[in-house]
Chains A and B, each alone.
Chain A
């Protein structure tokens, strides 16, 4: 019983849903501030992401006539719950909290894909043709980045001679012994490939193809409003707090002891988020076929090179 309560606390409060939501909103403030700096603007105050969400939660919900209303309305909450569970598993590994988290790297990968599935289901279920176009693009984007993303992550899993493990805490322990994956060529290549994939996973420019405001009006999210839209925004925040942490924990080792360890980890995360933001602000949106070509071409080649080098022990 105590274990169950502990697990629920991990999931709902720390380091799961509540913590990652707040952290993600703070990171999205950093995103907006840095973007503003790049564009020579002042940018919003630190409270703005919170105000946005609070405002959405108070608005009325508009449900399209043609839609599968239940699925349409449930999608954002399922996305939020799944992203939060992935966040919990990743952050438990980051914080080296023992016990037994209910999943490993594969489970995290699948849980992280549920928000994308929810967006697709929501967009398609809305009955809006533009939503369907957005859903189709989102699905193609998932197909595009999932291949190199998986290969890049496996470059770390198969790095060790014996005892390849998919358990996140196992990967952390291995890196404690043998040094972080970033110390090897394969790790660096894999990290770069995974970073590019995360840009697309977060739906950031140049891979915001599925939302493309000025073409298809937010695409899959076009019919969403009020709390449902708010929870999709919260899901994005949770993902923004999870994906950089996942990259760090897989490629760059877990959190070190004491305040210094926390600071180092925070710096690593900030660096990754800053890269996301800079790429986002200096590139135009790609077309979906360009994105497919990009991910199945150079990025996949990079990821497979990393995997091959890892198996060879470089």
Chain B
């Protein structure tokens, strides 16, 4: 195989995206579709290959930078995943914007460039290249959010600010990591061969900076608030593509690289990372419980799920890292499916207010079933993929002896389930409000990605051992054979997803058979019984917004959640206020009176002189 093949998944979408910038709308859509398909194909070609592309590039004094990309057993799969996300998003967007004058602005071009950036991050073999591609993705997120929705500007600015903070931290961390005086200081090989110890301040600071960069991208508490804010204005394809799946993939990929091979974590730092994970799980899901806007609700789950990945990686155990990384893959799949489904319902029903939806299971059966599977998967119901990866994270908590974090993870999973019961009920079950009588199923272009993702949810769950062995095992550079997970996942406990599935199917069939042998085949269809009264669909509804009123009325909890909803815990708002205070202070100095300015000048001069004489 040619080493140049490694470049294809980056070059194809990158070049096509740049070309698409200058094409008229219709052609741009075609190019977006074909380009993402080609990216997927190029990614798939890299699956389970090990290859690296190396080109000496730049020598700056002691710093020699190489233009190097590489693919190992793991990143090939990730590259394919990025391609898959891009392809499904392009397919979905084509149908989503049909009848509305096509995709707004240069959406497809930005989409392709973002995909190129993400592929670059995944395939980079050099930390500086990784950071460069990372910035492209940040920028594209900003552009994608404001494309076609001018009201998205404040949300895009907020995202750009928080991500910008994270990126600056990442760059500083990169500089520190590379400043240790090795040859080729930014190459992955160098970094992995000389892991940074975190016993001293330098090590701790470097790690925390890198961690902040990864956490902001992935959306871990407290750097998560940009995701819920952009959930309103950003279009569903954009939400599904970047904040829900790819940003998580990039953030967690970096975190895994950093904490597995580049930095040796002290137990204290591991504890801190795990704590961030556990808090993220609970804070995200609790906030999701009280949401009434389905996209905003999903975005809080997008935050909550990151917690599992961070928690797993933070344990520092093999099983935890595998679980965290596998969860990252699974999350990309089911979260994209959920956002696609929510977008389809919003498009067809004209609202995303859970209080106004209901009873759509008959009107939109495919969307409903896909969201049902994805919802069960994110809630970690066996034997779907979400359960397999969460189960690994739980085992890791046991191995690392962290009972509190384990309780947080398990309880977070129950709350996730509860939240999605509400979503499913208020969108698809219950009585259909008369206003939604004319709603139809989403178009084929929107259904196909959802169906594909839902099927992946099932396959990755039932055959959960295979991806772990083939794809994710190599993340820790363990040969697949020695990952003690082959088929059995017997790392710390036991779980055989395939066996569980087969047994469950047999049990359900046995039950149905027994019921048939009971002789009852008569079936009657009747209106529902509500105490003998006729059902009035407009009146006799139990909208999902009422589902968890009791929880909201719990002492302390409700008030905390309300405060969270108002942005009391939002770092962006807090620092905004702080910054505003500083600015106000500075502004009050500008009185326009010349004597005041002279006074400040004299004071400054005095300070300079004082420093001169003292030193």
Contacts and interface: CB of A to CB of B under 8 A. Distances in A.
A29 interface: no
Interface in A50-95: 54, 57-68, 71, 74, 76-78, 80-82, 84-85, 88
A102 B430 contact: no
B444 interface: no
A124 B430 contact: yes
Interface string B477-503: 000000000001000111110011001
B542 to A, nearest CB: 4
Contact of A63 (B394, B415, B525, B540): B525
B403 A307 contact: yes
A124 B503 contact: no
Interface in B389-404: 391, 394-395, 398-399, 401, 403-404
B401 A110 contact: no
A150 to B, nearest CB: 5
Contact of B503 (A8, A65, A117, A131): A8
B506 to A, nearest CB: 6
Nearest to B555: A293
Given A107-B500, A114-B381, A157-B398, A227 B494 contact: no
Contacts of B430: 124, 127, 129, 132
B508 interface: yes
Contact of A103 (B403, B411, B500): B500
A237 interface: no
A274 interface: no
A57 B531 CA distance: 25
B519 A166 contact: no
Given A102-B495, A102-B499, A107 B391 contact: yes
Interface in A133-191: 133, 135-136, 139-140, 142-143, 146-147, 150-151, 154, 157-158, 164-167, 170
A11 B511 CA distance: 12
Interface string B428-453: 11111000000000000000000000
A60 B523 contact: yes
B508 A80 contact: yes
A103 B495 contact: yes
A270 interface: no
B524 interface: yes
Given A77-B508, A81-B511, A133-B542, A110 B387 contact: yes
A81 B504 contact: yes
Contacts of B372: 71
B407 interface: yes
A129 B431 contact: yes
Query: Interface residues of B toward A: which range?
Result: 35 or more
A223 B528 CA distance: 7
B520 interface: yes
Residue from B418, B488, B500, B507 with most neighbouring chain A CB atoms (10 Å): B507
A107 B551 contact: no
Contacts of A272: none
A222 to B, nearest CB: 7
A237 to B, nearest CB: 13
A184 B542 CA distance: 47
B59 interface: no
Contacts of A135: 421, 425
B493 A128 contact: no
Contacts of B428: 68
A107 B530 CA distance: 37
B506 A124 contact: no
A213 interface: no
Interface in A199-256: 217, 222-223, 226-228, 230-231, 234
Interface string B523-544: 1111111110001000011100
Contact of B520 (A58, A77, A120): A58
Interface string B404-419: 1011001100110110
Contacts of B547: 136, 139
Nearest to B361: A68
Contacts of B401: 158, 164
Nearest to A125: B429
B518 A142 contact: no
A34 interface: no
Contact of B382 (A12, A110, A131, A166): A110
A7 B499 contact: yes
Contacts of A165: 398, 492-493
A190 B511 CA distance: 35
A101 B372 CA distance: 29
B589 interface: no
A11 B503 contact: yes
B597 interface: no
A105 interface: yes
A3 to B, nearest CB: 10
B551 A292 contact: yes
A37 B504 CA distance: 39
A314 interface: no
B554 interface: yes
Contacts of B540: 129
A163 to B, nearest CB: 10
B601 interface: no
A22 interface: no
A17 interface: yes
A61 B504 contact: no
Nearest to B506: A8
A111 interface: yes
B595 interface: no
A8 B615 CA distance: 85
Contacts of B391: 106-107
B515 A102 contact: no
A150 B405 CA distance: 12
A246 to B, nearest CB: 15
Contact of A57 (B495, B515, B546): B515
Contacts of B425: 124, 132, 135-136
B553 interface: yes
A150 B508 contact: no
Interface string B203-235: 000000000000000000000000000000000
A126 B431 CA distance: 9
Contacts of B407: 147, 150-151, 154, 307
A8 B514 CA distance: 16
B530 A231 contact: no
B528 A64 contact: yes
Contacts of A57: 514-515, 518-520
Given A57-B519, A166-B395, A129 B541 contact: yes
B382 A111 contact: yes
Nearest to B372: A71
A147 B418 CA distance: 13
B103 to A, nearest CB: 33
Nearest to A288: B550
A125 to B, nearest CB: 5
A132 B429 contact: yes
Contact of B411 (A139, A150, A164): A150
A82 B359 CA distance: 27
A113 B535 CA distance: 32
Contacts of A68: 361-362, 368, 428-429
Given A129-B431, A143-B418, A154-B406, A117 B523 contact: no
A273 interface: no
A231 B512 CA distance: 9
Given A66-B527, A128-B529, A133-B542, 5 more contacts: A58-B519, A65-B525, A66-B528, A104-B494, A124-B429
26 contacts: A7-B503, A11-B503, A57-B514, A57-B515, A57-B518, A64-B529, A66-B527, A66-B528, A68-B361, A68-B362, A77-B508, A81-B504, A81-B510, A82-B507, A102-B499, A103-B500, A105-B493, A107-B493, A124-B424, A125-B429, A128-B528, A136-B425, A139-B547, A166-B395, A166-B492, A170-B493
